[in-house]
Amino acid sequence: MNAIVVYESLWGNTAEVARAVAEGLGPGARALRVDEAGSADVVAADLIVAGAPVFGFKLSSQKMRDGIRTNPGKGPAPDLSCPLLCAWLEALTPASGWGAAFDTQVRGPFGKGAPEIARLLEGAGYAPLGETEGFVVKGRHGPLKDGEVERARAWGAGLARAVQERIGP
Ligand SMILES: Cc1cc2nc3c(=O)[nH]c(=O)nc-3n(C[C@H](O)[C@H](O)[C@H](O)COP(=O)(O)O)c2cc1C
């Protein structure tokens, strides 16, 4: 099974989850930052897993990115060179395959991004492979809560099993 885990990450939490999901998916899977995931990677993939942070109660957006750029606040510097996942998804060439979506977020009722990611994947022809998932950070900039990397690996392994049930090894 060929899979890519495409992620947007400014502070590294979503990147860490993406790497763990790729490990769980197995040897045919790679975690790629949005600007590393080209059309050849997309065409070759049976499964696209996509993940991004929740900012301002929603999937990371240009508006929030502009706000973070203008006012980065206190704490570690964001990597503003990372393109937006939503733009990558909106430009995805329609195809047929499986999709799965996750976000990273603080614990609590502060919004989700994964359902919007799943919607954009499905709109491009990538049928949802189960429920979306959220991975939790301890503070505004992370790090990930204890156990979340292991949970991401297990989620990836579950996705691999789900694909195998549907399309074979
Ligand atoms: C400016 C800013 C706004 C945020 N807004 C939310 C929010 O509305 N809801 C939420 O659950 N988490 C929010 N967070 C937490 C981020 O979703 C979390 O730190 C995420 O893991 C960052 O991902 P990254 O390290 O991959 O960039 C916010 C963080 C920042 C810095």
Domains of the chain: 3-167 (3.40.50.360)
Contact 1, 26 (CB under 8 A): yes
∠ CA 109-113-115, nearest 5°, is 100
Q: Is the CB of 59 under 6 A from ligand 1?
A: no
User: Does 32 score more than 70 pLDDT?
Assistant: yes
According to the model, what pLDDT value does residue 77 have?
A: 94
Bridge partners of 58, per DSSP, are 55
According to the model, what pLDDT value does residue 1 have?
A: 85
pTM recorded for the entire structure = 0.97
User: What's the 55 CA to ligand 1 centre distance in angstroms?
Assistant: 5
Question: Is residue 78 exposed (0-12), middle (13-18) or buried (19+ Cβ within 10 Å)?
Answer: middle
User: Does 154 score more than 80 pLDDT?
Assistant: yes
According to the model, what pLDDT value does residue 114 have?
A: 98
Token reading at 150: 């292991």
The minimum-distance atom of ligand 1 relative to the CA of 13 is: 25
Q: Is the CB of 60 under 6 A from ligand 1?
A: no
Residue 13's identity, in one-letter code, is: N
According to the model, what pLDDT value does residue 86 have?
A: 98
The minimum-distance atom of ligand 1 relative to the CA of 58 is: 8
According to the model, what pLDDT value does residue 108 have?
A: 83
User: What's the 84 CA to ligand 1 centre distance in angstroms?
Assistant: 14
Contact 12, 142 (CB under 8 A): yes
| Mean pLDDT calculated for residue range 123-141 | 96
| Mean pLDDT calculated for residue range 43-63 | 97
Residue nearest to atom 29 of ligand 1 (CA): 140
The minimum-distance atom of ligand 1 relative to the CA of 144 is: 21
According to the model, what pLDDT value does residue 168 have?
A: 63
Question: Best substitution site from 106, 138, 148 to test ligand 1's pocket, by max atoms within 8 Å of Cβ?
Answer: 106
**Binning pLDDT at 50, 70 and 90, where does residue 147 land?**
very high
User: Does 167 score more than 80 pLDDT?
Assistant: no
Give the span between the Cα atoms of 100 and 71, in whole angstroms.
Answer: 32
Residue 10's identity, in one-letter code, is: L
**Binning pLDDT at 50, 70 and 90, where does residue 73 land?**
confident
Among residues of the chain, what percentage have pLDDT more than 70?
99
